[in-house]
């Protein structure tokens, strides 16, 4: 536990001090001085602190003070139980190591779904329902479901408030000879406004080839980039102009999957190196400075997934057999663009975050709190 946290907890349990402070002063002290990863410890001090940690007022004050931190959440589907659980990446205060801890207050009905962060919430769209998860209180509530049936969906947020759902939608039902009904599928875009909590009318792309299976999608410069398993069907969607275009050949040349965007640069790990794509320069590069350590750590990994972990930082999750156990690692990597445009990385930590790694579906999202 840090010296600052020990001092604060000592003050917190001292009867004459904290109870006598006005609520707004207590909020300012916690918002400005206590790192968010210490909130679980602080919530165990008293009922009043537990109530404070769960209050939107605290997070609003953090935002007003310009103090935000990224928290990473994971959705893991267990091969053993055949159930999906919602986890948070939590830093232990005793040894500063990271662990994935299940959030028991959140129940997920389906193992399949799309998860997208907007502010302090995670929006979930699956085959059974739609909901939003408030990551300040770890509570969930239902939201309007997608108004039409859609398949092969990708879900992304643009401008921090609008969620774009792109997939194949039934546009026409044709009755053929013998009374057989045939559905005509077209590529469609529908938008959920997180401010109004309403769906906007869908836009149909009549001449778009359907049945595409997307391997990944990201947002850069306000555009949605959708990578297909086959290089011939990767597209870019420009929301403002409602325009489709083929993906740049350079970006499409790599089989990127499990990618994230940090400071408008795309990063992914191909089990050999951490690679970066800068849309302004339209070129790929290898992140320097990680050396053989990351190569050795990720050797024989079954998958890697990069997640935005705040300004100039990402978290890299990877799954492998370690000392006879199936585990998931998390490496925190700080990023720096040096003179000449080269991107360098520095490994800040690399921990086993969960030891029972028998999961057949994993998804990660980063939330700003």
Are residues 145 and 265 located together in one domain of the fold?
yes
pTM for this prediction:
0.86
pLDDT in the model for residue 23: 76
Give pLDDT, residue 36: 75
**Distance of alpha carbon 235 from alpha carbon 211, whole angstroms:** 14
Query: Are residues 168 and 83 part of one domain?
Result: yes
Q: Is the pLDDT of residue 29 over 90?
A: no
Compute the average pLDDT of residues 188-206. Answer: 87
**Residues 44, 118 within the same domain:** no
Under the banding of pLDDT at 50, 70 and 90, the label for residue 16 is very low
Q: Of the residues 63, 97, 113, which one is the last residue of a structural domain?
A: 63
Q: Quick one: 174 and 235 in the same domain?
A: yes
- Residue 41 and residue 72 share a domain: no
What backbone torsions phi and psi does residue 221 show, to the nearest 5 degrees? 55, 35
Confidence of residue 208 (pLDDT cuts 50, 70, 90): low
pLDDT at 114 over 50: yes
**Do 348 and 215 reside in the same domain of the chain?**
yes
Of 63, 83, 105, the position where a domain reaches its end is 63
CA 271 – CA 299 distance, rounded (Å): 7
pLDDT in tens, 126-143: 877 899 999 988 999 999
Do residue 41 and residue 100 come from a single domain? no
**249 and 123 in a common domain:** yes
Count of CB atoms situated within 10 Å of the CB of 358: 13
Same domain, 167 and 268: yes
- Which of 2-11, 160-169, 225-234 is least confident? 2-11
In a shared domain, residues 79 and 175: yes
Q: Which of 63, 98, 114 is the last residue of a domain?
A: 63
Residue 210 reports pLDDT greater than 50: no
Give pLDDT tens digits for 138-174.
999 999 998 877 878 899 999 989 999 998 876 666 6
Which residues make Cβ contacts (< 8 Å) with residue 249, sequence separation at least 6?
Answer: none
Q: SS3 sequence, the chain?
A: CCHHHHHHHHHHCCCCCHHHCCHHHHHHHHHHHCCHHHHHHHHCCCHHHHHHHCCHHHHHHHHHCCCCCEEEEEEEEECCCCCEEEEEEEECCCCCCEEEEECCCCCCCCCCEEEEEECCEEEEEECCCEEEEECCCCEEEECCCCCCCEEEEEEEEECCCEEEEEEEEEEEEEECHHHCEEEEEEEEEEEEECCCCEECCCEEECCCCCCCCEEEEEEECCEEEEEECCHHHCEEEECCCCEEEECCHHHHCCCCCCCEEECCEEEEECCCCEEEEECCCCEEEECECCHHHHHHHHCCCCEEEEEECCCCEEEEEEEEEECCEEEEEEEEEEEEECCCCCEEEEEEEEEEEECCCCEEEEEEEEEEC
Note whether 49 and 133 are same-domain residues. Answer: no
Domain count, the chain: 2
Query: How far does Cα 44 stand from its chain's mean position?
Result: 28
Q: CA 230, CA 251: separation in Å to the nearest integer?
A: 13
Ordered strands of the 260-262 beta sheet: 260-262, 265-269, 274-278, 283-286
Do 30 and 326 form a contact (C-beta atoms < 8 A)?
A: no
Q: For residues 75 and 362, is the Cβ–Cβ distance under 8 A?
A: yes
Q: What CATH number should be reported for the domain holding residue 221? A: 2.120.10.80
Task: Tell me the per-residue pLDDT of 232-287, one tens digit each, with 9 for 90 and over.
Answer: 678 899 999 988 888 999 999 999 999 999 999 999 999 889 999 999 999 999 99
44, 92: one domain: no
Q: Can you give the residue range of the structural domain that contains 47?
A: 3-63
pLDDT digits (tens, 9 = 90+) for 293-327: 888 888 888 899 999 998 899 999 999 888 888 89
HSE toward the beta carbon, residue 317, CA cutoff 13 A? 27
């Amino acid at each position: 536990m840090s010296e600052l946290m020990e001092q604060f907890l000592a003050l917190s349990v001292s009867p004459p001090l904290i109870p006598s402070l006005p609520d707004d002063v207590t909020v300012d002290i916690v918002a400005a001085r206590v790192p968010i990863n210490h909130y679980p410890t602080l919530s165990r001090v008293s009922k009043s602190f537990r109530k404070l940690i769960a209050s939107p007022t605290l997070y609003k004050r953090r935002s007003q003070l310009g103090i935000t931190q990224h928290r990473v959440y994971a959705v893991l589907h267990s091969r053993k139980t055949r159930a999906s659980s919602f986890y948070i990446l939590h830093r232990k205060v005793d040894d500063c190591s990271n662990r994935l801890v299940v959030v028991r207050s959140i129940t997920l009905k389906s193992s399949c779904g799309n998860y997208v962060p907007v502010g302090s919430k995670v929006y979930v769209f699956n085959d059974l329902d739609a909901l939003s998860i408030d990551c300040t209180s770890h509570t969930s509530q239902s939201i309007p479901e997608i108004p039409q049936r859609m398949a092969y969906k990708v879900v992304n947020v643009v401008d921090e408030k609008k969620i774009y759902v792109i997939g194949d939608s039934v546009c026409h039902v044709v009755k053929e000879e013998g009374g057989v009904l045939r559905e005509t599928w077209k590529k469609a875009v529908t938008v959920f406004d997180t401010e109004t909590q309403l769906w906007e009318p869908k836009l149909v792309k009549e001449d778009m080839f359907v049945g595409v299976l997307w391997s990944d999608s990201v947002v850069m410069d306000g555009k949605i980039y959708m990578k297909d398993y086959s290089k011939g069907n990767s597209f870019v969607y420009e929301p403002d102009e409602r325009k489709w275009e083929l993906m740049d050949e350079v970006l499409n040349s790599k089989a990127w999957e499990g990618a994230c965007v940090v400071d408008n640069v795309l990063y992914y790990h191909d089990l050999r190196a951490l690679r970066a794509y800068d849309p302004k320069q339209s070129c790929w590069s290898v992140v320097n400075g990680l050396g053989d350590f990351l190569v050795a750590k990720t050797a024989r990994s079954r998958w890697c997934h990069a997640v935005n972990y705040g300004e100039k930082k990402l978290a890299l999750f990877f799954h492998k057999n370690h000392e006879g156990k199936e585990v998931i690692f998390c490496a925190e990597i700080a990023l720096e663009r040096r003179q000449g445009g080269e991107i360098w990385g520095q490994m800040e930590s690399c921990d086993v975050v969960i030891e029972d790694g028998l999961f057949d579906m994993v998804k990660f999202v980063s939330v700003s709190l």
